[in-house]
Amino acid sequence: EELGPLDELFEEFSESACGAASIGQAHVAKLRTTGETVVVKVQYPSAARIFSADAQCLRTLISLANPEALPAFEEFEKQLALELDYRAELANLTAIFDAIMPTFADRVAVPRAHSTLSTGRVLTLEYLPGPKLEGEMRRQMAALGMRVDESESMRDWIQRLEAQTTQPATEADDDEREPWRAWLGRVGARVVGIDAALWVVGKVLATGGAAGGAGGRQEELRTCLHSLVEVHGFEIFVHGLFNADPHPGNLIAMGDGKVGLIDYGQCKRLEEGPRRAIAELMVKVADDAPHAEVAAAFRRVGVRTEHGGDEFLGKMARLMFGRVSVEMLEPKWHRDLHKTDKMTHYPPDLLMVHRVALILRGLSVACRENVSIAELWRPHAAAALDAGPD
């Protein structure tokens, strides 16, 4: 319907999908004109209607159960709705390709788009060979004693464990009947997220011996991780347009050591003001500035709390973007922190930047690294501040 007769455009077109998501699926094909192997991303006919109905149901539920969360939901709804417009994704992909490939072509690959074979519901891209990074992460998780159900995608698993950070710790956390590695993983995930959970497990395993033969793969993953963090820092602070969904299902482990970056349906553009404010916050967290300075930067981003406490904002910023400290692994630390204050406004621009940081910190656990996103993003954040207003 969108492109016309397939046999006139493609020499080969795989009937089975090479990947699928909630709004569409992708097929490998070969162009008739050049013989190039491509990926054709096709949207399901009912995707827009189902999304609209689901979003309305969620909006009604949130307005009744937790009205304060509506601004955050509206930002996610806006971002998710962008995925339905493949023309917008084509524009985002082209802009990011032009921005990052001159600098990062030796470490990452972004597929070229075929605009003449793309529409609002069909997107044709260069094929990037290699398995998804998700598979290698599963192997690393297994080496750490963390089981991921094969029926659950790595993306869903990361999001599920990150969501558990909002749940209060219970006495069940001390249940000695659980295997010790599972207990550490579950408690850590509940307290500060997936990154700290597996970092702690990794540190314990390091003293008792991890799975043999994994060192080379871990080092390769570490290299990939640092490339991913740096590229996204460049996108956010230097270019201003970034992919807000860098989960492992959107990453390709290419045979030449590069990381393939695919799926640009959820991109976010930061205007100069918010970008500079968030850049200042990253620099303050990276430099371990006093709570008062970090809190002031947080407020300039637009965060508001009930009491406006410097210590609360300082600790929250470090928890969100800094390196996890030992005290953060204690449930009591979190309970005590949230007794002092609570956030009343969280700006939408920061929401998507924080989402990227959460996903990248989640990826770090497969490498058993306790990374500070703020430190790794600092050079690009400082460059944004040094550039001055446009």
pLDDT of residue 209: 35
Strand runs (DSSP E) across 138-274, as ranges?
241-243, 251-253, 259-261, 267-269
Comparing CA positions, the residue from 132, 133, 95 lying closest to residue 113 is 95
State which H helix or E strand residue 273 sits in.
Answer: helix 272-286
pLDDT of residue 160: 55
Q: Mention every residue, 6+ apart, whose C-beta is less than 8 A from residue 247.
A: 154, 155, 158, 359
Closest CA to 161 of 198, 189, 142, 201: 189
pLDDT at 144 (0 to 100)? 57
| Range of lowest pLDDT (29-38, 93-102, 260-269, 293-302) | 260-269
Task: Look at residue 143 in the predicted model and tell me its pLDDT.
Answer: 64
- Summarised one tens digit per residue, pLDDT across range 20-68 is 888 899 999 999 999 999 999 999 999 888 888 988 999 899 888 888 8
Residue 106, pLDDT score: 93
Q: Indicate the Cα dihedral angle 162, 173, 322, 296, nearest 10°.
A: 90
Burial classification of residue 72, based on how many CB atoms lie within 10 Å of its CB (0-12 exposed, 13-18 middle, 19 or more buried): middle
- Helices 291-301 and 310-321 pack at an angle, to 10 degrees, of 80
Q: What is the pLDDT of residue 373?
A: 95
Both ends of the chain: CA-CA distance in Å? Answer: 44
Query: 108 vs 151, 244, 262, CA distance in Å?
Result: 29, 17, 11
H or E segment at 93?
helix 86-104
What pLDDT digit, counting tens, does each position of 331-340 carry?
898 899 999 9
Does the pLDDT value for residue 149 go beyond 50?
A: yes
* Beta-ladder partners of 228: none
**Contact predicate 370/364, CB 8 Å:** yes
Q: Is 193 helix (H, G, I), strand (E, B) or coil?
A: coil
Residue 167 burial (CB < 10 Å; 0-12/13-18/19+)? exposed
- Alpha helices by DSSP H, listed for 105-175, are 133-143, 154-163
Cα 38 off chain centre by: 25
The pLDDT value recorded for residue 321 is: 95
Mean pLDDT of 119-132: 92
Residue 231 has pLDDT above 90, yes or no: yes
Does the pLDDT of residue 341 top 80, yes or no? yes
Contact between 259 and 251 under an 8 Å Cβ cutoff? The reply is yes
Mean pLDDT, rounded, for 282-310: 95
Q: Provide the CA 235 distance to its chain's centre, in angstroms.
A: 13
Give the pLDDT band of residue 142 (cuts 50, 70, 90): low
**pLDDT of the residue at 266:** 87
Select from 99, 72, 80 the least CA-distant residue to 302.
Answer: 72
